[in-house]
Amino acid sequence: MIQVLYFARLRDRLGTAGEEIADPPATLGELADSLAARGDDWAEAFGGKVLMAVNQEMADRGTPLSDGDEVGFFPPVTGG
Amino acid sequence: MIQVLYFARLRDRLGTAGEEIADPPATLGELADSLAARGDDWAEAFGGKVLMAVNQEMADRGTPLSDGDEVGFFPPVTGG
Amino acid sequence: MKVRISVQTAPFDLAEEMSRLTGGDVGIGGVASFVGLVRARNRVGEREAEISTLTLEHYPGMTEKALGRIVDTARERWPLQGVTVIHRVGELQLGDPIVLVLTASAHRRAAFESCEFIMDILKTEAPFWKKERLPDGSERWVDARESDGAAAARWLTSP
Amino acid sequence: MKVRISVQTAPFDLAEEMSRLTGGDVGIGGVASFVGLVRARNRVGEREAEISTLTLEHYPGMTEKALGRIVDTARERWPLQGVTVIHRVGELQLGDPIVLVLTASAHRRAAFESCEFIMDILKTEAPFWKKERLPDGSERWVDARESDGAAAARWLTSP
């Protein structure tokens, strides 16, 4: 089981701030691909530039996933 | 007649904050040379790096002098 | 070495942050700072009213971690005696302060460079997002700017 | 465009100067600042007591002119919406603020660069001189530093 969080434009597009996923794939990239395959809104949300974090650290497609991980997906940041 | 002002280390060395000079030479460089020729303290004060201003603008040895000018001599600045 | 990082809705008090940073450390020769403000997006046309409010969202927990990591990198790179980073979240109005970075060092060059470094990296790595509300009531997420990416990238190659 | 230049014995109020600079101008996106402080000359050894006081002398009249010229040069070089330069004179204690430079711009890079530019040029062109009093009561004029000359010179060649 992992926790997945969506932020900002992604969250608005997906209509949800997050979910739990029981049997995640081995890597972050595979997880992103499986989410993008869910349908139009998902494909669109994951079609642009999406940043990814695992356990609140920036990560990339190759980052492995483990039980209990917190995954975040979000658009390029615009703070400051 | 011009007004001559001395600042900081120069003023301390010369023992005066300024003076009026009735018949100044044509240029700032000649004025500095004539002051340096006045004796030991003067030679020493003008022997190091001395900055020069005419009418409160940075100037150099070639700057011409005119009646009524205010001339400043001082060491390299150390503000900020 | 004092480090203070805060993500908060409340405004910050610049003078208080300055004295908190410098108080008691007579080795500090200078403090550089940057304050980012909510500005009208574009001064052409109806210049006073192009945004009515700006809302800052963030990723709680990760934000603090990201800021901490940026500050650590700055401390490794420059001889600093103190760093303060405060970033506001929530709804802000035109002219409101958004972010404060203070860097204290014995030498001004280190203070300036580290302050600019922290701002540049924060702009591309700290998980904050801005949403604008326009005078007609519509809302839109602010797009990331390429110039921010370029500003961050130049620190990779600088000496 | 707001320009404020002051040479004064009194301390400055950072928060007040910031709001004076930014108030009412919603085109300002960021304010960079630098505050220079009286620091212990050397942190080795008896670190708290190496200077007891610092006295700042200046050339009244020329100081304001020189600062005005430096600010004018910065305004020609960067798109600025406001500049404040305050420099104190007279007797100061360890930790006291000496100088404040604030630069406001729509863009942070312009604010940072112009602030550092003003400090670097001020350090080599504005007629201020520091005299230190040591704990034993002796006094000495502070020597100009070569590194300040180098810091000012790099603005001649930067783009």
pLDDT by residue for chain C (159 residues), tens digit each?
Answer: 899 999 999 999 999 999 999 998 889 999 999 999 999 875 444 444 578 899 999 999 999 999 999 999 999 999 999 999 999 999 999 999 999 999 999 999 999 999 999 999 999 999 999 999 988 889 999 999 989 999 999 998 765
In angstroms, the CA B52 to CA B50 distance is 7
Cβ contacts from A onto C, under 8 A: 73
In angstroms, the CA C25 to CA C2 distance is 10
D37 touches chain C (CB under 8 A): yes
The partner residue sitting opposite B58, judged by closest CB among D58, D125, D143, is: D125
**How far does CA D134 lie from the centroid of its chain?**
23
> So what's the pLDDT on residue D159?
54
Does residue B41 surpass a pLDDT of 90? yes
Question: Beta-carbon neighbour count of residue B48 at 10 Å?
Answer: 11
D98 touches chain C (CB under 8 A): no
In angstroms, the CA C130 to CA A52 distance is 18
D124 touches chain C (CB under 8 A): no
Angle (CA) D130-C24-C102 rounded to 5° is 85
Is residue B70 exposed (0-12), middle (13-18) or buried (19+ Cβ within 10 Å)? middle
Q: Residues 58-87, chain D: which have Cβ within 8 Å of C?
A: none
Nearest to D69 by CA among C88, B56, B46: B56
C45 touches chain D (CB under 8 A): no
Q: What is the pTM of this model?
A: 0.94
Counts of helices then strands in chain D (DSSP H, E)? 4, 8
The partner residue sitting opposite D32, judged by closest CB among C13, C34, C43, is: C34
Is residue C138 exposed (0-12), middle (13-18) or buried (19+ Cβ within 10 Å)? exposed
In angstroms, the CA C117 to CA A80 distance is 12
Q: What is the ipTM of this complex?
A: 0.93
What tens digit of pLDDT does each residue of A1-57 get?
999 999 999 999 999 999 999 999 999 999 999 999 999 999 999 999 999 999 999
Q: Amino acid letter at A48?
A: G
